Amino acid sequence: MPIVQISRIQHRRGKRTDLPQLAAGELGWVIDEQRLFIGNGTIADGAPAVGNTEIVTAGASSFTTALNYVYKGYLGDGTPIQTGASGDYTRTLQQRLDDTVSVKAFGALGDNSTDDTAAIQRALDELYSDIADQDDTRSRRTLLFPAGIYKITTSMTIPPYAHLVGEGPDKTVIENSGANPVAVTEDDDGNVYGAIGNSGATVPTQIQISNITFKNTTANGGVSIDNTTKIYFHNCKFQGTYASGGADASASKGVTVRSTTALPCANIYFNHCQFTAFARLVDFSYDVTNVRFNDCDFSTAYYGAMLGETMDGSTNGLTIGPRDIQFTGNSWSTIGQQAIYVKQSSSTTGTGTRNVISSGNWYASSVGNNFEGIGSIREVPVLQYDNDECTSTMDFFERSDLRRSDGSSHMNAAPELQGIGIQDKAIKSQTLADNTSLATTINEYPALAGKGLRIKYKIVRGTLDRTGELVISASTNGVQYDDTFTESGSDVGVELTAVLDDKDSTAGSETVALKYTTTSTGSDATLDYQTTIIA
């Protein structure tokens, strides 16, 4: 009903136990509890119930309850659990909210407009490297980056023990427009590469980063991991400005490392990450050991991973180069040159980069052909190992492993693996037609001149079978081969041979073709085989 008259302001004051029924509109101030009430009036006056209504103040019980937090469990109020030794353990709402912290609490906006450089760095430094709290583990809270584009103009520096969490690639984006990497690591005194660890500062370690895109809008890097041990990236994206068909640019590196001899990098892990649009998606020359790339996607680059290019054996931090680098279960596409290039100078051959392993990777047909497609005259090896102790195991090379309707492979002049290394290919199965007197191709191995092959196989033909190993040595003059086998029972009637097949006029880029003939028995044969190539 409308207010038709205000005749007077009424109020009472006293202790909570003395609070009476107040008249309609009458105020009552409880002085011992600092709570304020107003009378409802009568039902006849239109009040829903007779009584007093509490006005929310700092002393109100409802306000106090709202500011307290008690964990209820998954059933909530229906079946609450007991959180304390003799009742519930109560925390303030402020304490509960401070269990994690957002960069927005430090003034970052992520609005794709505001320069968030200072706000983000303030959050990182206050949580992980503030002088007063840097040794107190309670300060090392998870720092959240809610979805948004956070503009920065210089490298974000990441201290030890940082735990950064976004909402996913292309949802949480840290975008740098400065002429430097998006992020670098620092010690807990704020020192960056060249001064990390000075005066006993804690070097970068135990860093976890997930669900964030590191984007550079200039032809510079993504993340530089400097003097760092134990850093973990999960479901992150590293994005640059490189366009397919562009030239190499050594400053455009998706991820790189920098070490000193005293403080080498080690234990670096990338899981389910994306690397795209850098001239070099990975560039490691400094001393680093135990690096893992698992289930990642590499695309749009001049080089995929360049390893050991500037390692020289004497410069501080470049004495041994990258070692124990493993790429497992990744996909690679739209890479003009080598997907993985272990590069050594003649002065460091036999030292430096080693134990590089490629296992179970998919190398698309758009890798290693200068962005010109299969058949380009400027094709290069997909993998190039110019140092020893490097291997390829069960990798799939689309440009040569996919079969055409005639049973042969897509062919190109360049080998899959060049240099020093052993390549174990996946097992294949092939039907060998009955009564084939003309030697017929089973598989082709590109640019195998000067290399060796070992083919382990089993042939089954009706009730007969053969288990053997065909060893092939190839040179520009031809091939020599030796087929050693054991048969159960009679001759299976299959002969395996190898020939040098000159696919083009370029000397030294010939292809080894594995062929077969069969006798006439009325039955086809099945060949299961696995190839090892000694590059």
Q: What is the pLDDT of residues 12-35, one digit of tens each?
A: 888 988 888 888 888 898 888 888
pLDDT for res 358: 96
pTM of the model: 0.83
CB under 8 Å to 516, separation ≥6 — which residues? Answer: 432, 436, 439, 440, 442, 494, 495, 496, 497, 527
Give the model confidence (pLDDT) of 498-527 as tens digits: 988 766 555 555 788 899 999 999 999 999
How many Cα atoms sit within 13 Å of 152 on the Cβ side? 26
Q: In terms of Cα–Cα distance, which of 432, 458, 454 is closest to 523?
A: 432
In angstroms, the CA 114 to CA 92 distance is 33
pLDDT for res 54: 85
Contact 332, 298 (CB under 8 A): yes
Contact 410, 369 (CB under 8 A): no
Q: In terms of Cα–Cα distance, which of 514, 354, 524 is closest to 446?
A: 514
Residue 121 phi, psi dihedral angles, 5° rounding: -65, -35
Mark the ranges of the chain whose per-residue pLDDT is less than 70: 1-10, 58-66, 345-350, 402-413, 449, 502-509
Q: In terms of Cα–Cα distance, which of 374, 375, 301 is closest to 340?
A: 301
pLDDT for res 405: 46
Phi-psi region of 199 (alpha: psi -120 to 50; beta: other; left: phi over 0): left
Neighbours of 198 (CB within 10 A): 10
pLDDT for res 518: 96
Q: Are strands 340-342 and 68-69 parallel, antiparallel or unpaired?
A: unpaired
Domains within the chain, CATH numbers bracketed: 11-66 (no CATH), 100-241 (2.160.20.10), 281-426 (no CATH), 428-534 (2.60.40.1680)
Q: Where are the beta strands (DSSP E) in 75-133?
A: 91-92, 101-102, 111-115
Alpha helices of 351-409 — where are they, by DSSP H? 398-401
pLDDT for res 292: 98
Place of tokens 């390549």: 423
Instruction: Render 42-71 in DSSP notation, one character per residue.
Output: -TTTT-SSSSEEEEP-TT-HHHHHHTEE--
Q: Would you say how long the chain is, in residues? A: 535
In angstroms, the CA 324 to CA 498 distance is 35
Q: Tokens representing 59?
A: 């002393």
